[in-house]
Chains A and B, each alone.
Chain A
Amino acid sequence: MNRFLAFLILMSFGVTKVTLAQVTISGYVYDSFDKEALLGATILDEGSGRGTVTNNYGFFSLTLPRIPADVRISYIGFETKHIRILSDSTSILEILLVEQSTQLGDVTVTDDRIHQEAIQSVRMGSISIKPADVNRIPSFAGEADLLKVMQLMPGVTQGNEATGGMFVRGGTDDQNLVLLDDAVIYNVGHLFGFFSVFNTDAINDIQLVKGAFPARYGGRLSSVLDIRMNEGSLERWNVRGGVGLLTSRIMIDGPLIKDRMSFMLAGRRTYIDQVLKSVNVDLPYYFYDVNAKLNYRISESDRVYLSSYFGDDILNFQDRSENEEDLGFGFTLGNWITTARWNHVYASGKTFSNVTLHQTRFNYDIRGDFVDNSILITSKIQDIGIKLDWETFPRHGLRYQYGGSVVTHGFRPNVVNTSGNISELIGTSDSPNIRSTEAELHGSVDWDVNDRWRMENGIRYSSAWSGKTYSGFEPRSSIRYLISADHSIKFGYSRMRQYMHRVSSSAIALPTDLWYPVTENVKPQSAHQVSIGYFGSKKVLDITYSVELFTKRMENLIEYKEGARLILNDRFESELLRGNGLSRGFELFIQKHSGWANGWIGYTLSKTDRQFEGLNGGESYPDRFDRRHNISAVAMVDLSKNMLWSVSWVYMSGAHMTAQTGQYLMPNASLTGVELVPIYSKRNAIELASSHRLDINLIIKGRLREYGQGEWHLSAYNFYNRAAPYRVSFRSNGSSLEYMQQGLFGVFPSIAYNFRFHSK
């Protein structure tokens, strides 16, 4: 038995194959225009058929069986480049790709990389999208929003209308690990989630992983949204921006030291407060965000990045009552992240490392003032951490990824400060600063076993300390079987553990959701996810398609007890229950990548249940956002050289709610009257109406000039004005009442002007 295990381990680490004298080339692939790294570019040895893709920093390492060798480098939207490797040079290559012209009438070039990646990659449940595409897809109020584009992907369910909440494969919104340059973003939405905090002008790459997770990712159960900011051009100055209905934004990047140091600075702010002031309406609300990044190439093998994001939602309402008494209400809700990274390529060119120091802070303050009384409720979470990652390419077809990380969390949930007479009613409560620490070690092997089989097996060991220590192994496995060049079958398994919870209400939407660590009573959430998929491509039509089946079992989920008190409750831990969840689903994804009309169709059939001993009599019940059917269709059509039309149509089965179905009278406690006691349906037993919506966007490009181009976006959200249930209320119907589902937004036309200019 032990020998068999040893054999399996050796097989897994791919050391059974005798290696011959080989040549390794390594380097970076850049956009020739501004020398931004291209993530996921393909490098292929045409002689041997061996290939690899660039990592999250644009780095690659490829071992060639012989030289000279003809190597092809390709990337979607860029012209393919061929280079000949003549010698075994140890220098690090710098490959520049030129962006393709995409004018109507050009010959359509099918990008093999997409097809190879879809069919040959071991990855499944993974979606990559370019910020340029996000900008083209119709959006709410004309604000390009990558979270809402992600909601158009199979397996991702929307929460409430027009909000950016993502519910991935039956998970909850807090089970998404959202990383911006490797730092966690806790609050991804402005204005209660109507707009995402990500300014697409400042974004270089977006990847969503919803299953078969690589071992380097962890800490959340359901998805990883890995977003990389622009590094800033080393070549020329760029200015990008836009003026929209609600916000204006600008991004500037360029070289500080040509070919060595660059920067990027982007900012965005709403001006609805200023708009309303012009019509004498006082709504002192706005949000803003700023992205900044510095990129410095110390040497051929070393480079450092310093990046930061901060943004706030601010409401500051002040008024004076009829009795000349001061009234005030407001809140501030904000994220702040900072990341410092150092990339190093070892002398062999076969090992790449990345060290990341990161800090994140998310806090909110809610304040109210009335005459001499004031109340201030604050909550804060702050992380400081370090990550170490190595990537080694010992020979062709073999890649090791390994590393570890430590992060400390500091929590100050629900600190209440009161003054004046109100302090007699609501006491000041200074909750203790709760500390927790998470650490993990991970390693994985990506191995091309033979022409048909490829596997990436990994393991992660994670721990958390917060009064009590929790730890456990998280095995990960992805296996691909290549049926032919155009067809493959993939299998994935992931065990995930999550050491933080977000506590939020199902009854009302508050900006006061609390993040909370594991404790003696609050155990870590965990999930097993198994998925299997078929992947195919039709190169002639430049279409890829996939079918994935998944099942995900989640444990130690938390919910509030029935009747839990949520407002100003500093002992909410006693109001929490633990339970399980189960989600199963089928996902279909058909995507056309190029041509005068391109886009995708996604369909998800899924069922998600929860089961808690203390809820619904212990019986399982549908999750609130258990939407049985989800269909999305996105089309981008070139109407002429300067005109592009994009449409998206979505259909969603209704969300679920618990409704009052009856009531009765009971004598009150003093036996001097009666009071009404509500009778509710079974938990989440009422399904709201399904919703469907068409959004359109017409892009009219200005003349392409030597220094740049501008474009107008004319768009309409909810074009045919169909209500999507947002809330439920009673409406009088003569002598009786009826339940009504209210939509939030009807047809919402918008106009925006975007521009992109650059120096020569």
Chain B
Amino acid sequence: MMRLYPFLFVIILASCELFELPLKVDPADEALVISSVMIDNETMIVTATRSFSPLSGRSVNALEEDLIASLFVSDGRILVSNSLTTDTLPTLGIPGFYGGESPESAAGSLVYLSVYDSTTGLSVQAIATRMLPISIDTATYENTRLGVFDLKRLRIFIDDPVGQNYFALHVYNVPVGGDDLDSLFFRDSNLLLHSEVFTDRVAEERRIRRQIDLDPGLAGDTVIVVLSNIEEGYYRFLDARRRTGGLIASLANEPINAPTNIIGGYGYFSAHQLRATVVILDD
């Protein structure tokens, strides 16, 4: 019988050949994709791209020129308005990126967005609530040790305003020489160290405490902690992206479509504002 085993093994292997049938899956219609951010009280940046098929075979690891040309909306018309005025956001010189002053609005008022892509004729609309900017009340740090690891531990305290609130928190490292603290964004040198979204359900007596452990081997001794008070819908959008981001999550987690407030498109139009706090990690 032992002599037969290799023969039987070959039978088993041969029968395990993966043979295939094609599966027809209709791709989702091409649609505009919007994201937005307010850098300070007045400046709004909106990006506009187009969705594409997962079967296109395109790699986005390197932003190839033809990919940028085909996906980024280079000749869009971006209108941002409130109940009083309407402004057109001009291109920032980078395909798909538009920015400029947004209409002055009080926190809680509505901001309207309209995007028209003259190449494809696609258009979308969205409405966002201008959010009250909230600053970090206190940010401290200490050197500590966890097991065999040395850590720099940041502690952040936020006073939670009345009502249900949602937050996004990002921590960047400014490397040595990166001393332009007013220019947080679009700099490869400002490394994102930590990113999270949370609700004020974690608050105790309307005070929120977050603890973030950082690697001690940072490139610089300065970190910037950026807090955004965001709408519930945007919180859910960011939370969905967090759940689908990364290799393990994309393979193992349940599928989820990121929620959107873009009518006829994807992404999220948010009128939240950022508040940054600089922390010097001085030993």
Chain B associates with chain A: yes
B106 close to A (CB within 8 Å): no
CB-based contact A723/B252 at 8 Å:
no
Asked whether B162 is an interface residue with its Cβ less than 8 Å from the other chain, the reply is no
User: Are the C-beta atoms of B25 and A659 separated by less than 8 Å?
Assistant: yes
Cα–Cα, bound, A725→B24 (Å): 13
Inter-subunit contact A507/B25 (CB<8 Å): no
Residues in B whose Cβ lies below 8 Å from that of A105: none
- Asked if B278 is at the interface (CB within 8 A of a chain A CB), the reply is no
**Interface presence of A127 (CB below 8 A):** no
A458 to B52, CA, bound (A): 59
B-side contacts of A662, CB under 8 Å: 27-28, 51-54
Q: Which residues of chain B are near A739, meaning CB under 8 Å?
A: 22-25, 55
Q: Does A276 contact B (CB under 8 A)?
A: yes
**Bound: A674/B50 CA distance, A:** 13
Look across to chain A and name the residue whose beta carbon is closest to the beta carbon of B24: A739
Say yes or no for B261: interface residue by CB 8 A criterion: no
Contact A671-B185, Cβ < 8 Å, known A738-B22, A741-B22: yes
Could you tell me the distance between the alpha carbons of A720 and B209 in the complex, rounded to whole angstroms? 64
How many residues from B make CB contacts under 8 Å with A? 72
The answer on a CB contact under 8 Å between B23 and A736 is no
Contact B56 A737 (CB under 8 A): yes
A507 near B253 (CB under 8 angstroms)?
yes
Chain A residues, CB < 8 A from B282: none
- B12 at interface by CB-CB < 8 Å: yes
CB distance from A693 to the nearest CB of B (A): 13
Q: How far is the CA of A272 from the CA of B33 in the complex (A)?
A: 52
Q: Does A565 contact B (CB under 8 A)?
A: yes
* Residue of B whose beta carbon sits closest to that of A676: B60
| B23, B47, B239 pick with most chain A CB within 10 angstroms | B23
B14 at the interface (CB under 8 A from A): yes
Chain A's nearest CB lies how many Å from the CB of B184? 8
Residues of A within 8 A of B253 (CB): 507, 563-566
Query: Which residues of the other chain, A, contact B25 by a CB distance below 8 angstroms?
Result: 659, 661, 681, 686, 739
The residue on A at minimum CB distance from B239 is A563
- CA separation between A660 and B71, bound complex, in Å? 18
Cα A735 to Cα B53 with chains together (Å): 13
The residue among A666, A668, A743, A750 with the most chain B CB atoms within 10 A of its own CB is: A666
Say if the beta carbon of A508 comes within 8 Å of chain B: yes
Q: How far, in angstroms, from A276 to B57 measured CA to CA in the complex?
A: 39
| B1-44 near A? 1/0 per residue, CB < 8 Å | 11001101101101111111111111110000101010000000
* Complex: A262 Cα to B191 Cα, angstroms: 75
Contact assessment for B170 and A678 in the assembled complex, using a CB-CB cutoff below 8 Å: no
> Does the CB pair A424–B267 fall under 8 Å?
no
- Kindly state whether residue B214 has any CB partner on chain A within 8 Å: no
Known interface pairs A662-B28, A662-B52, A679-B51. Does A743 touch B23 (Cβ–Cβ under 8 Å)? no
Whether B251 pairs with A677 at a CB distance below 8 angstroms is no
CA–CA, A746 to B17, complex, Å?
Answer: 7
Q: Is the CB of B27 within 8 A of A424?
A: no
| Binary interface encoding of chain A residues 705-731 relative to chain B, with 1 for a CB under 8 A from any of its CBs, else 0 | 000000000000110010101001011
In contact, A667 and B47 (Cβ under 8 angstroms): yes
B182 interfacial by beta-carbon distance below 8 Å: no
The interface residues of chain A lying within 8 Å CB-to-CB of B252 are: 505, 507-508, 566-567
> Is there a chain B Cβ closer than 8 Å to A470's Cβ?
no
Contact partner of A278 (CB less than 8 A), chosen from B6, B49, B250, is B6
Assess the B256–A664 pair: CB atoms within 8 A: no
**Closest-CB distance, B15 to chain A (whole angstroms):** 4
Q: A101 an interface residue at 8 Å Cβ cutoff?
A: no
Contact of A276 among B2, B9, B188 (CB under 8 A): B9
B9 to chain A, nearest CB (A): 6
In the bound complex, what is the Cα–Cα distance between A745 and B15 (angstroms)? 5
Chain B: which residue is nearest A734 at the CB level?
B57
Q: By the criterion CB–CB under 8 Å, are A746 and B15 in contact?
A: yes
Contact partners of A744 in chain B: CB under 8 A: 16, 18
- Give min CB distance, A34 to chain B, whole Å: 30
Contact A279 B6 (CB under 8 A): yes
What is the minimal beta-carbon distance from B213 to any residue of chain A, in angstroms? 10
Contact of B254 among A564, A669, A743 (CB under 8 A): A564
B148 CB within 8 Å of chain A: yes
Interface size for A (C-beta < 8 A) is 75
**In the complex, chain A residues whose CB is within 8 Å of the CB of B170:** 669-670
The answer to whether A424 touches B148 (Cβ under 8 A) is: yes
Say yes or no for B84: interface residue by CB 8 A criterion: no
* A678 touching B255, Cβ below 8 Å: yes
Q: Are B243 and A565 in contact (CB under 8 A)?
A: yes
Once the chains are docked, how many angstroms separate the CA of A749 from the CA of B16? Answer: 12
Asked if residues A664 and B33 are in contact (CB atoms below 8 Å), the reply is yes
B241 engages A666 (CB within 8 Å)? yes
**Given A679-B28, A732-B57: A689 touches B23 (CB 8 Å cut-off):** yes
Alpha-carbon distance A453/B64, docked complex (angstroms): 78
A750: chain B residues at CB < 8 Å are 11
User: Provided the pairs A508-B251, A567-B252, A747-B15 are in contact, do residues A421 and B51 lie with their beta carbons within 8 angstroms?
Assistant: no
Closest CB in chain B relative to A84 CB, distance in Å: 55
Q: Are A723 and B19 in contact (CB under 8 A)?
A: yes
Assess A661 versus B28: contact at CB under 8 Å? Given A275-B5, A732-B57, A749-B11.
yes
Cβ of A2 under 8 Å from chain B: no
Bitwise, A402-432 to B at CB < 8 A (1) or not (0) is 0000000000000000000101100000000
Q: Are A561 and B254 in contact (CB under 8 A)?
A: yes
- Chain A 556-574 against B: per-residue CB contact (8 Å), 1 yes, 0 no? 0000111111110000000
Task: State whether A665 touches B49 (Cβ < 8 A).
Answer: yes
Q: Give min CB distance, B237 to chain A, whole Å.
A: 9
Chain A residue nearest in CB terms to B189: A672
With A670-B172, A672-B186 in contact, is A741–B21 under 8 Å at CB?
A: yes
**A450 is an interface residue with CB less than 8 A from chain B:** no
CB distance from A579 to the nearest CB of B (A): 14
Contact call A567/B248, Cβ cutoff below 8 A? yes
Q: Is the CB of A275 within 8 A of B251?
A: no
Which residues of chain A are within 8 angstroms of B146 by Cβ–Cβ distance?
424
Quote the shortest CB–CB distance from A677 to chain B (angstroms). Answer: 6
A665 and B255 in contact (CB under 8 A), knowing A741-B20, A743-B20? no
CB <8 Å contact, A562 and B71: no
Residues of A within 8 Å of B186, CB to CB, are 671-672
Choice from B15, B47, B257 contacting A680 with Cβ under 8 Å: B257
For A659, the chain B residues whose CB sits under 8 A away are 23, 25
Q: Which residues of B contact A89 (CB under 8 A)?
A: none
List residues of chain A with CB within 8 A of the CB of B258.
677
Q: CA A721 – CA B255 in complex, angstroms?
A: 32
A749 to B8, CA, bound (A): 10
Identify which of B18, B54, B188 contacts A661 (C-beta below 8 A): B54
Considering the chains assembled together, what is the distance between the CA atoms of A659 and B25 in angstroms? Answer: 8
- Bound Cα distance from A278 to B3, whole angstroms: 9
Tell me, yes or no, whether B190 is within 8 Å of chain A by CB: yes
Residue from B21, B25, B71, B258 with most neighbouring chain A CB atoms (10 Å): B21
Q: Mark B242-283, 1 if CB is under 8 A from A, else 0.
A: 011100111111111110000000110000000000000000
Residues of B166-201 contacting chain A, CB below 8 A: 170, 172, 185-188, 190-192, 195
- Decide yes or no whether A108 CB sits under 8 A from chain B: no
CA distance A669 to B274 in the complex (A): 13
Contact B55 A730 (CB under 8 A): yes
The residue of chain A having its C-beta at the shortest distance from the C-beta of B257 within the complex is A680
B170 — nearest CB in chain A belongs to which residue? A669
| Minimum CB–CB distance for A552 against chain B, Å | 25
Per CB-CB distance, the 6 closest pairs between chain A and chain B, nearest first, are: A563-B256, A670-B192, A563-B243, A662-B28, A562-B256, A748-B15
* Supplied contacts A562-B240, A664-B49, 9 more A-B pairs, CB within 8 Å: A278-B5, A505-B252, A562-B255, A563-B244, A564-B253, A664-B266, A670-B195, A737-B56, A739-B22
Chain B interface residues (CB < 8 Å from chain A) = 1-2, 5-6, 8-9, 11-12, 14-28, 33, 35, 37, 47, 49-57, 60, 63, 71, 146-149, 170, 172, 185-188, 190-192, 195, 239-241, 243-245, 248-258, 266-267
Q: A residues near B, CB below 8 A? A: 243, 245, 272, 274-276, 278-279, 281, 421, 423-424, 505-508, 560-567, 658-672, 674-681, 686, 688-689, 717-718, 721, 723, 725, 728, 730-732, 735-750
